[in-house]
Amino acid sequence: MTHTTVHAYAAPAPKAPLERTTVTRRALGEHDILIEIKYSGICHSDIHTVRGEWGHETFPIVPGHEIAGVVAEVGAGVTRHAPGDRVGVGCFVDSCRECDNCRAGLEQYCTGASGPVGTYAATGRDGEFTQGGYSTHIVVDENYVLRVPDGIPLDAAAPLLCAGITVYSPLAHWQAGPGKKVAVIGLGGLGHMAVKIAHAMGAEVTVLSQSLRKKDDGLRLGADHYHATSDPATFEALADGFDLILNTVSADLDLNAFLGLLRTDGVMVQLGAPENPLPVVSGSLFRRRRTLAGSMIGGIRETQEMLDFCAEHGIAADIELIDADRINEAYERVLTSDVRYRFVIDAQTI
């Protein structure tokens, strides 16, 4: 069986601009699906990865784990999807399928020898290095491919595959809903989806952004309140106020100041993955029996549940669609928080 060569955008080295290139995709195995990629979201994790902020990586890397497209071809044993289906692929493309977490539908926490196999910059169980969604086609096992409901446009669906599920999972796990006060720190890709989804779940939603410059957007997206964290009065006014806080910030943050905004037994969930460790003072936690937790994307079953939830509530990402030759410019804009609210690459331009 031979590989197919397809076009892609790759980072050739840490911090180097991405450039047009080719990668190979494996021949279709029995349970594989060939997806014609239509759209690929730009997640801040792509940027952390290609800048080397999460440690050593093997280059070149084709980033992209917010993939939306159409099934082009299926392997002989595929039953879950058919040619023409609208599908998505998120942050992982395989896992051991045998550990307790995989069996429980928590493949993102797979404890097997290779863990969940990342959509890019990982070594698959076939020994091949994975390359992601900034590309025209990808081959993925049918069990790791999601169905995109008809009601969601494919371009606005792409960011749901990472940003959407990353906020949906903790909102569902910690039961955001009527009577719950939820705060979202950072109104970027993850943050704007958190506002929409928490609002759709019925929670009272507050945005905590660096400034008030995106306030109108925040309220339009479904927030009930909007505060600037650059104003010290915010921390006094909102002290002991929230049941649940999602921290989506990609940079260093004083977690202690934000922990002070949790009421007794409140939970703050760390979703942002900045390069540096963030110090936590014991008293920030024990004075109100507060919990600092973390959460990573979501399993396949829950990702499908999230897509169906978004379709039912008429929500998807607010995107800025770009041609592939603007990827590097988009990265620079994300780094200055100038994103409204997700860049999505039109794969036709790759």
Contact residues toward Zn ion (CB under 5 A) are 43, 45, 95-96, 99, 102, 110, 112, 162
User: Does 203 interact with ligand NAP (rule: CB under 6 A)?
Assistant: no
Binding-site size for ligand NAP (CB under 6 A) equals 31
Both structure tokens of 88: 């998505």
Q: Does 293 bind ligand NAP (CB under 6 A)?
A: no
Sites for ligand NAP among residues 205-244 (CB under 6 A): 209-210, 214
- Enumerate residues 55-84 that contact ligand NAP by CB under 6 A: none
- How far is it, in rounded angstroms, from Cα 7 to Cα 328? 17
Distance, in Å, from the CA atom of 309 to the CA atom of 313, rounded to the nearest integer, reads 6
Contact pattern for ligand NAP over residues 298 through 337, marking x by CB under 6 A? ------------------------------------x--x
Smaller CB separation from ligand NAP, 137 or 309: 309
Residue 102 interacting partner from Zn ion, ligand NAP, none (CB closer than 5 to 8 Å by kind): Zn ion
What's the residue count for the chain? Answer: 350
Separation CA 203–CA 154 (nearest Å): 27
Q: Tokens 């399993």 map to which residue? A: 299
Of positions 148, 152, 187, 310, contacts ligand NAP by CB under 6 A:
187
Cα torsion 124, 128, 131, 133: sign = negative
Minimum distance from residue 187 beta carbon to Zn ion (Å):
16
- In the bound complex, what is the minimum distance in angstroms from residue 223's beta carbon to ligand NAP? 11
Sequence-distant (6+) residues with CB within 8 A of 20 are 7, 8, 9, 324, 325, 350
Strands (E), the chain: 4-10, 19-25, 32-41, 67-74, 86-89, 92-94, 117-118, 137-141, 146-147, 181-185, 204-209, 225-228, 242-247, 262-270, 291-294, 319-322, 342-346
What residues contact 339, with CB distance under 8 A and at least 6 apart? 188, 189, 320, 330, 333
Closer CB to Zn ion, 110 or 172, in the complex: 110
Single out the segment in contact with ligand NAP by CB under 6 A; choices: 72-80, 118-126, 159-167, 172-180.
159-167
Q: Which of residues 8-47 bind ligand NAP (CB under 6 A)?
A: 43-45
- Is 105 or 241 the residue whose CB approaches Zn ion more closely? 105
272 is a contact residue toward ligand NAP (CB under 6 A): yes
CA distances from 330 to 24, 42, 164, 299, 334 (A): 26, 8, 20, 28, 6
**Would you say 181 or 214 has its CB closer to ligand NAP?**
214
Q: How far is the CB of 272 from ligand NAP (least distance, A)?
A: 4
Do 69 and 290 touch, CB atoms closer than 8 A?
A: no
- List residues binding ligand NAP (CB under 6 A): 43-45, 48, 162-163, 166, 186-191, 209-210, 214, 248-251, 253, 271-274, 295-297, 334, 337, 339
